[in-house]
Structure 1
Amino acid sequence: MKDILRAAMVIARRDFSAVIFTRTFLFFLLGPLLPILIGMAFGGLSEKISTDSLRPAAGLSMSPDETARMLAAREAVARRIGADHISALEKAPWPVDPRSLLAHSDAGYVAVVSGSVDRPVLTGQPSDIDRLEGDVRLIASAAKTRAVLPEVDVERHPVAQSVSGQTQARLTMGRAAQILIFLLTMLLAGMVLSNMVEEKNNKVIEILAAAVPIDAVFLGKLMAMLSMSFIGIIFWGGCAVAGLALLAGPGFALPTPAVGWPVFILLAVLYFAMAYCLLGSLFLSIGAQAATVREVQTLNMPVTMAQMVIFFFATYAVDHMGSAPEIAAAVFPLSSPFAMIARAAQDGAIWPHVLALLWQAMWVGLIIRMGVWLFRRHVLNSGAKRPLFRRRSAPRA
C-alpha cells in the first residue's frame, strides 16, 4: 500500500506540474470570472429594462393645482411602497389634446392622464392603459382624499432570534452550498476524461503502467486534478469574498449554520473533495476505456445528465430531514455529498458526517478498483487495446 501511495504521489506531482506551470492555466482561472461579470452587466441591464417596461411613465396633462396634487400623492405612495413599484408621472403641456401629445416621438411617456383628480382620463394604447390604470387609480384616490397615506408609528419588539426564520435561512444556506459544490464538481471533474484519453493516444499511459502499478496511475491523476481544482477554488473564493465585501451593505450577514462556520467550511471542503473524487474516478474509468475523444464526448453526456438527476434528487430531499428520500440521498454515494452538506447547515450532529465521509471514501476506492480492472481487461490485456465501441466487420462474401 505504501508503494502505491508513493507512486501515486509521483504521478500526482507530474500531472500537477504539467498543468499548473502553463499559460493556459491562467486562462482557466480567469475563464469562470468572465461569464460572472457579463452576467452581472446583463443582469443590471435587464433589471432596468424590466423596470422601465413594467412601470412606464405617464404624462400628466391637468391644471396646475391638480397636477401638484397628483404629483404629491405619487411621491407619498412611492415613499411607502417604493419608487420601482409605482408608475412615474411627468408634467405634460395643458390644455392640449392627449392624442396630439402621444403623436410626438419625443414625448417621453406612453400614455397621458388628463381630466381631473375626481375623474381622471387615461389615453393610450390598450396594453399601456391596462398596465397604468391601477397605478393611476391609486394615485388619484390618494390625491382626492388629501390625506395621503398618513404615517403610522410601528412599535418595535426585537428578538435575538426567530426559530422559524433561522430554520428557513439554514435551509436556504444548505441549498446554496449544494448548488455551489455541484457546479464546481461539474466544472472541474470533466478535465479528467480528456487527460486520460490524451495520454493513451500518446502511448504515455503504457510507459506509466509498466513503471508503476496502474492503481497508482489512477489515484495519482485523481489527486493531481483535485489539487489543481483547489487552487482554482481558492482563487475564485478570494475574488468572491472581495466582491462581497465591496458590494454588500454594512448590515449584511450570513446565517450561522447548525454546525458552526469553522466546521461547516471544513465539511464543505471535504464534501467537495468526495464529490469530485466520486465523479472524477467515474470519469477516469470512462476515459481509460475510450479510445478517442469522440467516444469520451459520447459517454460524457449520459453521465452528466445522470449526475444532474441525482443532484435534483438531493435538492428535493434537503427540506425533508429524516424522511426516506433524505436518508436515501445520504446513503447513495453520488448524491451523498450534496445531501450531507445540506444536513450540516440544518443539523448540529457531527457523527453522521464522519460515517458519510468514510462511506464515500470507500466508494471512491471501489470505483477506482473497478476502473483499474476494466482498464487491465480491455486495454492492457495481452498488449492489445480494445476500444469501448467495436465496429462489426462486414460479412465476407
Structure 2
Amino acid sequence: MIETIRAAFVIARRDFTAIIFSKSFFFFLLGPMFPLAIGLAAGSLGQQVSQDIDRPVIGVALEDSQSAKLVSARAALVKNLGGAALPELLLLSDVNPADPDIQTKLDTASKPLNAIISGSLEAPLLTGSQRDVKRWSGKIALLTETALAGSNPVKVRTDFVAETDSSEQRARLAIAQGGQIILILLTMILAGMVLSNLVEEKTNKIIEILAAAIPMDAIFLGKLFAMLGMALVGITVWSTIGFIGISVMSTGIPALAAPAVGWPLFCILMVLYFSMAYLLLGSLFLGIGAMATTVREVQTLSMPVTMGQLLVFFLAAYTVTKLEEPAEWLAVIFPFSSPFAMIARAAQMDNIWQHGLALVWQGLFTLIIIRFSVILFRRNVMKSGNSARKKKLFARMRG
C-alpha cells in the first residue's frame, strides 16, 4: 500500500507539473473568460436596448402651471419609487390645452409617446392605445393626486422585525440550488480532461511503459489526483478574478444569507464535494478510456456517462425541497448524486457529522471504480503482452 501511494504521488507530480507549466494551461484558464465576457457584454447591451425601447413616455398637454406641478410630483415620487416605476413626462408646449390635437401629436411627437395626458389635474384625460392606457392609468392617477396635494407624497412609516423563519428557509433553499448548479457545471467542464489525457497517452504508448514499472492502480490514482489538482488551480484563479470583478463593479461583495453550517464550512464542503464529484466522474472516465482505443470510441462511450450525470443532477435538484424523504435519501446514498444532495443538505441542515460519513462513502466508491477500471485496462490494453506470454509458455510445454 505504501509503495502504491508513493508511486501514485510520483505520477501525480509528473502529470500536474507537465500540465501546469505548459502553454496550453494558460489558454485553458483564459478559455471561460471569453464566453463570460461576451455574454456579460451582450446581456448588458441587450438590457440597455430593451430599456430604451420599453421606456414609457407620456406627453403632457396641460396648462404651464399644472404641467410644472405634475413634473414636481414625479420628481418627488421618484425618490421613493425609483425612476423605472414611473413614466417619463414630455411637455408638449405646442399643443393647445383647450383643444389639443391628440391623435396628430401622438404620431408626430419628437419622442415615441405611449399616451398623452390632457384636460386638467382635477379631471385628467389619458389618450392612447388600449394597452398603454390600461397600463399607465394608475400611475397617472398617482401623479395627479400627488400634484394636487402639493407635490408632497405621503411618508410611509416603517417598522423592521427580525428575519422570519420562512424568509431564512427560502434564502437557504436558493443557496442549496446555487451550490448544486456550480458543482455540476464545474464537474462537467473539467472532468472530461481525465479521459483525453489517458487516451493521448494510450495512443503514444506511454501508458504501457509506465505500466511496466508501476502498478496500474498507482498510475490511475496519480493521474486522477493530478487532474483534480489542475482543476482546483483553475477554479482558484477563476474565483479570484470573479471576486475582484464583483468587488469592483458593485463596490464591495454583496451580503448574502448564511447557509445552515455557516459560510466558512460551506465553502470548505463545496471544495470537498466538488473533489469527490470530480473523482467519481473522473474514475468512471478512466474506465471508459480503458475500454476505448480511438477518439471516436471515446466520444461514443462518454456520451451516455454525460447524460447519466445530468440525470443524477436532476435527481439531486428534485430532492432539494424534500429533505429526509425517500427520494432525497436515494440521492444521498447513490454515490454519483451524493455530492450534489449533500451540498444541499449543508445549506439547509446544521448537523456536520453526516458530511464525514458521506465523504468516506464517496471515497470508497471511487476506489472501487478505479479498481474496476484497472481490471478493464489490463484486459483491453495489456492483453497483447499476456497473450504473447501465454504463447511462449505453450511453446515451452511442447518442447
Q: Is this a same-fold pair by TM over 0.5?
A: yes
- Judging changes above 3 Å, is the alpha-carbon distance between structure 1 residues 102 and 164 closer, same or farther for their aligned structure 2 residues? closer
Q: What is the match of residue 135 of structure 1?
A: 139
Q: Measure the CA separation in 2 of the matches of 1:215 and 1:46.
A: 52
Shift in Å, 1:145: 6.1
Q: Measure the CA separation in 2 of the matches of 1:12 and 1:222.
A: 8
Q: What is the match of residue 150 of structure 1?
A: 154
Q: Which region of structure 1 is more displaced relative to structure 2, 119-128 or 81-90?
A: 119-128
- Judging changes above 3 Å, is the alpha-carbon distance between structure 1 residues 36 and 251 closer, same or farther for their aligned structure 2 residues? closer
Q: Measure the CA separation in 1 of the matches of 2:146 and 2:383.
A: 86
Secondary structure of 2:247's aligned partner = helix
- Among candidates 211, 227, 238, match of residue 225 of structure 1: 227
Q: What is the match of residue 28 of structure 1?
A: 28
Aligned residues of 1:185 and 1:275 also touching (Cα < 8 A): yes
Q: Which amino acid aligns with 2:111?
A: A
Q: What is the match of residue 69 of structure 2?
A: 69
Q: TM-score, normalised by structure 2?
A: 0.86
Aligned residues of 1:101 and 1:107 also touching (Cα < 8 A): no
List gaps (5 residues or longer) in structure 1. Answer: 386-397
Q: Measure the CA separation in 2 of the matches of 1:341 and 1:247.
A: 29
Q: Measure the CA separation in 2 of the matches of 1:99 and 1:67.
A: 20
Q: Measure the CA separation in 2 of the matches of 1:88 and 1:365.
A: 65
Is the counterpart of residue 44 in structure 1 residue 48 in structure 2? no
- Judging changes above 3 Å, is the alpha-carbon distance between structure 1 residues 62 and 301 closer, same or farther for their aligned structure 2 residues? farther
Secondary structure of 1:257's aligned partner = coil
- Among candidates 241, 244, 257, match of residue 243 of structure 2: 241
Q: Which region of structure 1 is more displaced relative to structure 2, 346-355 or 27-36?
A: 27-36
Q: What is the match of residue 269 of structure 1?
A: 271
Q: Which region of structure 1 is more displaced relative to structure 2, 122-131 or 280-289?
A: 122-131
Q: Measure the CA separation in 2 of the matches of 1:167 and 1:14.
A: 46
- Judging changes above 3 Å, is the alpha-carbon distance between structure 1 residues 110 and 153 closer, same or farther for their aligned structure 2 residues? closer
Q: What is the match of residue 79 of structure 2?
A: 79
Instruction: Spell out, residue by residue over 1:19-57, the C-alpha distance to the aligned partner (whole angstroms, 9 max, x if none).
Output: 111122111112222333333323333333333444422
- Among candidates 109, 116, 121, match of residue 117 of structure 1: 121
Alignment of 1:100-111 (within 5 A): 100-104=104-108, 106-111=110-115
Q: What is the match of residue 10 of structure 1?
A: 10
Is the counterpart of residue 278 in structure 1 residue 287 in structure 2? no
Shift in Å, 1:76: 3.7
Instruction: Spell out, residue by residue over 1:73-99, the C-alpha distance to the aligned partner (whole angstroms, 9 max, x if none).
Output: 333443333221222112123226334
Q: What is the match of residue 299 of structure 2?
A: 297
Is the counterpart of residue 349 in structure 1 residue 351 in structure 2? yes
Q: Measure the CA separation in 2 of the matches of 1:231 and 1:380.
A: 33
Shift in Å, 1:110: 4.5
- Judging changes above 3 Å, is the alpha-carbon distance between structure 1 residues 234 and 82 closer, same or farther for their aligned structure 2 residues? same
Q: Which amino acid aligns with 2:333?
A: V
Shift in Å, 1:158: 4.5
Q: Measure the CA separation in 2 of the matches of 1:149 and 1:26.
A: 58
Shift in Å, 1:358: 0.6
Q: Measure the CA separation in 2 of the matches of 1:30 and 1:219.
A: 28
Shift in Å, 1:100: 3.5
Q: Which region of structure 1 is more displaced relative to structure 2, 212-221 or 374-383?
A: 374-383
- Among candidates 165, 185, 188, match of residue 187 of structure 2: 185
Q: Measure the CA separation in 1 of the matches of 2:38 and 2:57.
A: 29
Aligned residues of 1:51 and 1:84 also touching (Cα < 8 A): no
Secondary structure of 1:58's aligned partner = strand
Q: Measure the CA separation in 2 of the matches of 1:245 and 1:219.
A: 38
Aligned residues of 1:170 and 1:256 also touching (Cα < 8 A): yes
Q: What is the match of residue 391 of structure 2?
A: none
Q: Measure the CA separation in 2 of the matches of 1:105 and 1:196.
A: 68
Instruction: Spell out, residue by residue over 1:150-199, the C-alpha distance to the aligned partner (whole angstroms, 9 max, x if none).
Output: 11322x3444x543333322222222222212211111111112111111
Q: Measure the CA separation in 2 of the matches of 1:188 and 1:284.
A: 14
Q: Measure the CA separation in 1 of the matches of 2:138 and 2:48.
A: 21
Aligned residues of 1:336 and 1:356 also touching (Cα < 8 A): yes
Q: Measure the CA separation in 1 of the matches of 2:292 and 2:247.
A: 46
Shift in Å, 1:355: 0.7
- Judging changes above 3 Å, is the alpha-carbon distance between structure 1 residues 8 and 250 closer, same or farther for their aligned structure 2 residues? closer
Instruction: Spell out, residue by residue over 1:274-296, the C-alpha distance to the aligned partner (whole angstroms, 9 max, x if none).
Output: 01000111112112222222222
Aligned residues of 1:54 and 1:131 also touching (Cα < 8 A): no
Shift in Å, 1:346: 1.9
Q: What is the match of residue 394 of structure 2?
A: none
Q: Which region of structure 1 is more displaced relative to structure 2, 64-73 or 180-189?
A: 64-73
Secondary structure of 1:79's aligned partner = helix
Q: TM-score, normalised by structure 1?
A: 0.87
Alignment of 1:365-384 (within 5 A): 365-383=367-385
Aligned residues of 2:73 and 2:151 also touching (Cα < 8 A): no
Shift in Å, 1:141: 4.9
Is the counterpart of residue 98 in structure 1 residue 102 in structure 2? yes
Q: What is the match of residue 342 of structure 2?
A: 340
RMSD: 2.6
Aligned length: 383
Q: Which amino acid aligns with 2:101?
A: D
